[in-house]
Amino acid sequence: MARVGTLLDDYGRPADRVQIIRRGKNNTRIKRSTNYGRSWAVEDELVPTGLILDDGGLRFEQHSNNPTHATYRANGIPKARLRVQRVYSTITKAQVYLGDTTWSEVEDFSTKDIVFDGGAGHGWNIPTWHEPIDTDTSLAVGELPREQGREVGERRQESTPVPVPATQVAVAPPAPAALILEASKVQRFSYLRVSSADQNLARQRAMIGDVNKEFIDEVSARSRADRPGLERCIDYLRDHDELHVASIDRLARSLVDLRFIIDAITAKGASVHFIKENLTFSEDSTDPRATLMLGILGSFAEFERTIIRERQAEGIALAKKAGKYKGRKRALSPKKVQEARRRAVAGESKVVIAKDLNVSRATLYRALKSD
């Protein structure tokens, strides 16, 4: 019986809620979730077993509820709640929860020691290895302030007071410049979409301007699940990042899908900017007029797409009536269908037949069922 699990990406972050069909030593056969987790994909796929958690989809649910939070573990023991800023293959930059809605400066953690569970593994407990900052700023004459801070997983020893001349003013050491830069730097990203590979992205790039990284889809405006570029984009975004899109219809043409995508972006602490419509949405956005405009423009985009489909269907019907429309070329010719039937009757595996004919199993099944 198929079970439900969590698919991780190469960094250990939950990527999808999946149905586990058959688990092997090296590879596991799964089906990804579709329709926002309400159903399963028709076709299955093989993924490395090490990327599958047989947890009923719990890790994916935890991460989805709070995608910017995680748990730092040392020797398998939860040590702290983290607010993740950037994830790399070996190092993750994150802040540590210190209690009372306070977070530390951005620090480096080993990515393999982080569990991306929305912070559920440690909760909101204060790290036991954290040494609270001394609020007493009074200094004796001739003493420098003691260093306050910590390193990952251990306390930093206090430095011994150093005598200085009485006329010298004691100044606390500044925070490392790299940490300040990392914490304050705003990354600009763009999402570009064209309906086919032969369309030009130059107009969208000109509207958006310079960015740190761009994500591209060369597909029609279908659901989010069918656009790998958009999935990578949303997964890549972090707190304070900016996503720039040329226009609303480049992101989605369904109002429901548009709202869902914007919510997914803002939930990660990022903001989305629509250049043509001059609209910006973020987690802190409270402008009711912007929300109203989003609904109106999104509805128009969806209406426009529906009209295009109706006209396309009418044109196809007229072309068929006139004998000018033959439809898309079949993946399997009648000769290949006969060959497939002969091999299937002989007891040969349909998986092997589909692979030899370079078609999917679904295509093969439809061809075998056709008259």
- Give the active site residues: 195
Strand partners, 336: none
Q: Is the dihedral of CA 104, 110, 111, 114 positive or negative?
A: negative
Whole-angstrom Cα distance, residue 240 to residue 244?
A: 13
Amino acid at 362: A
Tell me if 235 sits within 8 A of 12, measured CB to CB: no
State how beta strands 271-274 and 242-245 pair: parallel
User: What does the alpha-carbon distance between residue 37 and residue 18 come to, in Å, rounded to a whole number?
Assistant: 9
Distance CA 247, CA 258 (A): 12
CA distances from 265 to 60, 254, 260 (A): 17, 17, 9
**H helices within 209-287, ranges in order?**
228-236, 248-251, 255-266
